[in-house]
C-alpha cells in the first residue's frame, strides 16, 4: 500500500529530477562557460560582427518557423496569446513603477527604464527555449515566437511614456507630450525585430521549407551555443556596471524574471483552458515574459529616457536578468510543463 505521504512527496522528487535534467542542457553549459572565462579575465574575444550575424541568423530561423506555422494555422488561435503578450508588456513596466521605483535611493526614470527592458524580449532567450522544448518533447505552436513584438513594443512605449510623464510632471512642464510612433518605429527597425519579422514574412509568403530544412535548422543549435558563450561573457562584463548602482537593481533583476514568468504562465494556462493553446505555448509565453531585452532595445530606451542611467538598466538586464531567465526560468517552466503533461 502506498502511504498518502509518499503520494504527496513523489511529484516533488520527480519535479526535481526533471529540473536537474533541464539544468544539464548544453545551452546552459555554454552560458556558464562564457561567464567563467570572462570572470577569469580571459583574452577570448568574439568579434562583434559574429555576434550580430548569429543573432540575425537565429531570429531569422525562428521567424521562418513561425511564418511557416502561421501559414498553416488559424488566425483566431493567435489572437488571445497576442493580447496576453501586449498586456504582459504593459503590466511588467507598471510593476516596476510601483515596486522598484518606490524603493529607497532609486530614481523613478532608472526604475521605469529597467522595467521597460524587462518587459521587452530577449532574442537570445527566445532562441534558447525553443530547442529545449524540442529536446523535452513538449509540443508548442511554432508561431508563439511571433508574439515577441507584441510584448516588446508595448513595454517600451509604456516605459518611455510613464518616464516622460513623471519627468514633465516634476519639472512642471505639464504640456510635454510623448510621441508614440517614433518609439514603435525604433522598435520595429531594431535588428532583432526586423530579423524576426522578415523571417515571419518569408515563412508565410515563400514556402521556404527546403532552405529551412537544409540550412537554417541544422545550424541553429551550433550557432545558439556560440551565442550563449557571448551572452555569458557579456553578463560577466556588465556585472561591473551593475556594481556601481543601487543593490535593489540586482535584487529586482533576480526576482522579476521569475515573477513575470509565473504571471505569463498563468495567463497562458488560462488561454489553454479557453482555446486549447498548448502548454508548451504557455511556456514560450512565460519565457519571453521572463526574458529582458539585451540586443536591440537598450538604444531605444537610452534615446527615449535620456536621464535614466544605462548602467542600472543594462547592468540589471544583461548581468542578472538574462542569466536568470535562461538558467532558472527555462528549466523551471519546462519542468512544470512536463509535470502537467504527466511525465
Q: Which residues bind other proteins (CB under 8 A)?
A: 45-48, 51, 230-231, 233-234, 237, 241, 244, 294-296, 298-299, 302-303, 306-307, 310-311, 314, 318
> Do residues 132 and 201 touch, judged by C-beta distance below 8 A?
no
> Do residues 118 and 317 touch, judged by C-beta distance below 8 A?
yes
Q: How many angstroms separate the CA atoms of 292 and 126, rounded?
A: 10
CB of 47 to other proteins, least distance (A): 6
CB of 300 to other proteins, least distance (A): 9
Number of H helices, E strands in the chain: 17, 0
Of residues 130 and 229, the one with the C-beta less far from other proteins: 229
CB of 235 to other proteins, least distance (A): 9
CB of 315 to other proteins, least distance (A): 10
Of residues 141 and 234, the one with the C-beta less far from other proteins: 234
Of residues 92 and 230, the one with the C-beta less far from other proteins: 230
Q: How many angstroms separate the CA atoms of 308 and 107, rounded?
A: 8
> Do residues 277 and 80 touch, judged by C-beta distance below 8 A?
yes
Of residues 280 and 310, the one with the C-beta less far from other proteins: 310
CB of 53 to other proteins, least distance (A): 12
> Do residues 285 and 147 touch, judged by C-beta distance below 8 A?
yes
Of residues 144 and 164, the one with the C-beta less far from other proteins: 164
Amino acid at each position: 500500500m502506498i502511504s498518502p505521504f509518499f503520494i504527496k512527496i513523489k511529484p516533488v522528487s520527480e519535479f526535481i529530477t526533471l529540473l536537474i535534467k533541464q539544468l544539464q542542457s548544453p545551452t546552459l553549459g555554454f552560458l556558464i562557460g562564457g561567464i567563467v572565462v570572462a570572470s577569469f579575465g580571459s583574452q577570448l574575444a568574439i568579434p562583434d560582427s559574429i555576434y550580430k550575424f548569429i543573432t540575425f541568423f537565429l531570429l531569422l530561423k525562428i521567424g521562418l518557423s513561425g511564418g511557416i506555422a502561421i501559414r498553416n494555422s488559424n488566425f483566431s488561435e493567435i489572437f488571445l496569446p497576442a493580447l496576453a503578450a501586449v498586456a504582459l508588456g504593459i503590466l511588467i513596466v507598471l510593476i516596476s513603477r510601483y515596486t522598484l521605483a518606490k524603493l529607497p535611493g532609486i530614481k523613478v526614470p532608472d526604475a521605469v527604464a529597467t522595467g521597460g527592458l524587462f518587459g521587452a524580449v530577449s532574442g537570445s532567450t527566445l532562441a534558447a527555449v525553443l530547442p529545449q522544448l524540442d529536446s523535452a518533447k513538449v509540443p508548442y505552436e511554432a508561431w508563439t515566437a511571433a508574439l515577441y513584438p507584441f510584448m516588446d513594443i508595448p513595454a517600451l512605449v509604456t516605459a518611455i511614456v510613464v518616464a516622460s510623464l513623471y519627468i514633465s510632471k516634476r519639472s512642471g512642464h505639464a504640456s510635454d507630450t510623448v510621441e508614440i510612433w517614433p518609439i514603435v518605429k525604433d522598435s520595429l527597425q531594431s535588428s532583432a525585430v526586423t530579423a524576426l519579422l522578415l523571417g515571419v514574412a518569408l515563412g508565410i509568403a515563400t514556402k521556404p521549407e527546403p532552405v529551412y530544412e537544409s540550412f537554417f535548422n541544422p545550424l541553429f543549435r551550433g550557432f545558439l551555443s556560440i551565442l550563449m558563450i557571448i551572452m555569458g561573457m557579456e553578463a560577466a562584463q556588465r556585472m561591473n556596471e551593475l556594481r556601481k548602482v543601487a543593490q535593489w537593481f540586482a535584487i529586482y533583476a533576480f526576482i522579476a524574471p521569475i515573477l513575470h514568468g509565473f504571471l505569463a504562465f498563468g495567463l497562458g494556462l488560462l488561454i489553454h483552458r479557453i482555446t486549447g493553446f498548448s502548454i508548451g505555448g504557455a511556456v514560450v509565453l512565460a519565457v519571453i515574459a521572463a526574458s529582458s531585452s539585451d540586443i536591440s532595445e537598450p538604444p531605444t530606451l537610452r534615446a527615449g529616457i535620456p536621464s535614466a542611467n544605462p548602467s542600472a538598466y543594462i547592468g540589471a538586464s544583461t548581468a542578472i536578468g538574462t542569466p536568470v531567465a535562461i538558467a532558472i526560468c527555462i528549466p523551471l517552466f519546462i519542468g512544470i510543463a512536463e509535470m502537467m503533461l504527466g511525465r
